[in-house]
Structure 1
Amino acid sequence: MSEPFFFGYGSLVNRRTHDYAEAYSARVRGWRRVWRHTDMRDTAFLSVERDPDAEIEGLIALVPGGDWRALDVRESGYDRVALSEGLAHGATRPVAAQIYAIPSATGAPTLRQPILLSYLDVVVQGFLTEFGEAGVARFFASTRGWGPILDDRARPRYPRAQALSARERGLVDAALAPLGVRRVTG
């Protein structure tokens, strides 16, 4: 029998943002990470979309007792989708993993609905911890839909914002520079 796990590919990779203790580094084929905005909120979401040629890294974690309620609340605005194939992970038992995806994305981030830097910081901190600097580089290379970044580091708007070291902040800033995204304050 397979145990219920989620596949996190963004902020859920950062173990400091949740208390799902049994977690393993993982990757999944057939999905690509993408920044999107919807009418549901005033900032961009990090989501996934199907892409048979893509592979992304992330974290799988056991959902104790199959009780998805708290995670579904955290991930409101996303649909939970079963991963039927392409999952590789470090768990030593059968896993029935699900991934969260935005069902009705309307487009890339905009100045009205930017990417929060405090959100991106959390994601990158998680990838650095799980996969090292090479994993951070793969995160940026495998993520599409980059748009304007709202620099909210001084007053984070992201509810699970984390303190970053100077090294972590520098890593995020250096990875953003070649993308040519507009960085705004507000």
Structure 2
Amino acid sequence: MPDPYFFGYGSLVNLTTHDFPDPRPARLKGWRRGWRHTDLRQVAFLTATPDPDCEIEGMIAHVPNDDWAALDAREWAYDRVPVTGAVSHDLTRPVDIAVYAVATEKQSLPSTRHPILLSYIDVVVQGYLRHFGEAGVERFFATTDGWEAPIINDRAAPRYPRHQVLKPSETALVDSHLAAVSATIETMA
């Protein structure tokens, strides 16, 4: 029986946000990322969206104790979608891989009422930098839609529950890429 694995493409790429076993870099073909909002959360977050012309990098990891319950609880606003054949990785044993994605009919674009948290972006970019280098960070920004959404600068009082402390060079890298995509960053009220 194949081992269950998940493909993470956002905060799950930052291994300091979890301790799921056997993490390793992977690529998911036919998908891209997008900033979206649902009625299930107050702020916007990343979701995977089908795109036959795109491929995204991320991390796969083993589902703890072969039980999806803990991971489903962490990713409660998403549906679990099987993607085994679309993921390239270095494992040699059989695995079943799923990605978490918000169903199209349950999502909407971020808004001033439902912005993106800068502390969340920081966590994601830090993970991509650690595992894929600066070129990986560039690919992350290029394969993610929704940068026109408002971003709240919550660095002084992070609202993202798994926020991380960034080095000044990491913060500068995030800020540089956000400027390159003409992101609008607002001060937290």
TM-score by length of 2: 0.95
Q: 1:35 to 1:105 in 2, by over 3 A?
A: farther
Aligned with 1:81: secondary structure?
strand
Is residue 122–residue 161 contact of structure 1 (8 Å, CA) maintained in 2?
yes
Q: Which amino acid aligns with 1:94?
A: P
Equivalent runs, 1:86-165 vs 2, <5 Å? 86-103=86-103, 104-146=105-147, 147-165=149-167
Residue type of the alignment partner of 1:82: P
**Structure 1-normalised TM-score?**
0.96
- Paired with 1:4 and 1:84, the residues of 2 have a C-alpha distance of 10
Q: Could you tell me which amino acid in structure 2 is paired with residue 144 of structure 1?
A: D
Q: Could you tell me which amino acid in structure 2 is paired with residue 175 of structure 1?
A: H
Which structure 1 segments of 5+ residues have no match? none
Alpha-carbon displacement from aligned partner over 1:82-134 (angstroms, at most 9, x marks no partner) = 11422101223222100000123432211111110000100000000110000
Mapped partners of 1:92, 1:125: distance in 2:
28
- TM-fit CA distance, 1:41: 1.5
- CA distance in 2 between counterparts of 1:122 and 1:144 reads 17
Distance 2:136 2:27 in 1: 11
Cα distance in 2 for residues equivalent to 1:105 and 1:126:
27
C-alpha RMSD of matched pairs (Å): 1.1
Secondary structure at the counterpart of residue 122 of structure 2: helix
Contact 2:84 2:95 in 1 (8 A): no
Query: Is residue 28–residue 87 contact of structure 2 (8 Å, CA) maintained in 1?
Result: yes
Q: How many residues are treated as equivalent by the alignment? A: 186
Identity of aligned residues (%): 56
Q: 2:168 aligns with which of 166, 173, 177?
A: 166
In structure 2, what residue type is equivalent to 1:67?
D
* 1:32–1:143 CA contact under 8 A, matched in 2: yes
Deviations 1:133-177 (A, max 9, x none): 000000000101121111000000000000100011000000000
Q: Which residues of structure 2 form unaligned runs of 5+? A: none
- In structure 2, distance between residues paired with 1:145 and 1:134: 20
